[in-house]
Amino acid sequence: MKKRQNINFAPVYYLGLWLALFALLESCRVQQLPPPENATARNIIFLIGDGMGLGHISAALYANDNSLNLEQFTHIGFQKTYSANDLITDSAAGATAFACGVKTYNGAIGLTADSAACETILEELQGQGYATGLVATATIVHATSAAFAAHQPIRVFYEEIAEDLAASGVDYLVGGGKRYFDRREKDERDLIREMEGNSYYVTSYLEHELKDLVPSPMSRFCYFAADKHPLTKAAGRDYLPRAVSMGASFLGRRSNTGFFLMAEGSMIDWGGHSNDGGLVIEETKDFDRAVKEALNFARRDRETLVIVTADHESGGMALNPGSSFESINASFTTNGHTAAMVPVFAYGPGAELFDGIYENTEIYYKMRQALGLPQKTVVEGK
């Protein structure tokens, strides 16, 4: 009589359980961030956390119940931030690298290293019928937003930058800096009145809160959130997530071709400069809420590429022993910028292009490729 063998089915059973669990998790993940249907993006939402390095992200994550919307991205890379004349970049050179695909000197706004004006991706897309927008939680004439639509040799030429922005035809402008448009020191021009004569609806914090406005796609839109710099988030500022969601909806209705929207969380950088861990955390959390709005739009739209990165790292921020989920013990190595690489997060058509390690200038070329634009020769940063 053949001897009966005892077969242990436990390994197979547990393997099946693990496979089922893995499939469930994968299903949840796909439902959370569905893959785009098209290989080519129609729109770009480009979110820049000024000064936001890994230390800033880590601190905000742990202080926010160990969760950020940034965790939802599946394509992540790192970019090298140095400028043409210094291993440590400033925001002007960093943003110009994104906007034009060239390394330039610190302080330059929309110029090459030899001081020639460079056409930005915003300007090129605008010429092709795309709707365009710029948002900042600092003044709209500050370096990061300015670099996409202005061309000036020094970043502190705020009134000259205001002139460039007023004449730029950017469809959607939200930020501080009203005084550089209507109470100028260099001349008596009222740029707001000039903008209103150029199809802009212009309003400000003196008349409305942004959350109460629904701009018509029939006209350009400009909202001044402050006379100079807006408040910090902790002091009451509350418009960045709304500005992103409203901007994407507005721009999407304004053009059948597509849109480009850049939004900056400006004051993360201020926390690094002042070595204030609490300010860093609150500003990064607010920026992350804007990231959520961008992802929500991209999930619904399925043709929008969302990119999140920083122009540089500020403060050399570290989370020290003694830190906990309830209390972050942060320290800083400087009150300036550092040369640390910063992460790049991407979701949507073309997101895979942003994996790996590359120069900050390549973000410009990757955006062009994701949109299906004719490729240009990479001229900087190799």
As annotated, the binding site for Mg(2+) includes 50, 142, 144, 264
Compute the C-alpha angle 232/236/242, nearest 5°.
90
Q: Which residue positions form the known binding site? A: 50, 142, 144, 264, 269, 273, 311-312
Q: Give the separation between CA 249 and CA 260, rounded to whole angstroms.
A: 12
* Residues contacting 361, CB < 8 A, separation 6+: 97, 98, 101, 102, 103, 378, 380, 381
DSSP secondary structure letters along 20-73 = HHHHHHHHHHHHHSPPPS-SS-SEEEEEEETT--HHHHHHHHHTTTT--GGGG-
Annotation: binding site for Zn(2+): 50, 269, 273, 311-312
- With residue 260 as reference, give the H or E element that holds it: strand 259-265
115 as an active site residue: the answer is no
Closest CA to 273 of 334, 183, 211: 334
Determine the Cα–Cα distance for residues 283 and 294; give it in Å rounded to an integer.
Answer: 17
In sequence order, which ranges of the chain are alpha helices (DSSP H)? 10-32, 54-62, 91-100, 121-127, 143-146, 158-168, 179-182, 191-196, 240-254, 268-273, 277-301, 362-371
- Tokens representing residue 62 in the block: 């742990």
Dist. CA 121–CA 211, nearest whole Å? 29
Residue 293 CA from chain centroid, whole number:
12
Helix (H, G, I), strand (E, B) or coil at 188: coil
Q: 209, 220, 274: which is closest to 243 by C-alpha? A: 209
Strands 304-309 and 342-347: antiparallel
> How many other C-beta atoms lie within 10 A of the C-beta of residue 103?
23
Q: Which of 58, 91, 168, 255 is catalytic?
A: 91
What is the C-alpha separation between 346 and 72, in angstroms, rounded? 10
* Residues catalogued as catalytic: 91
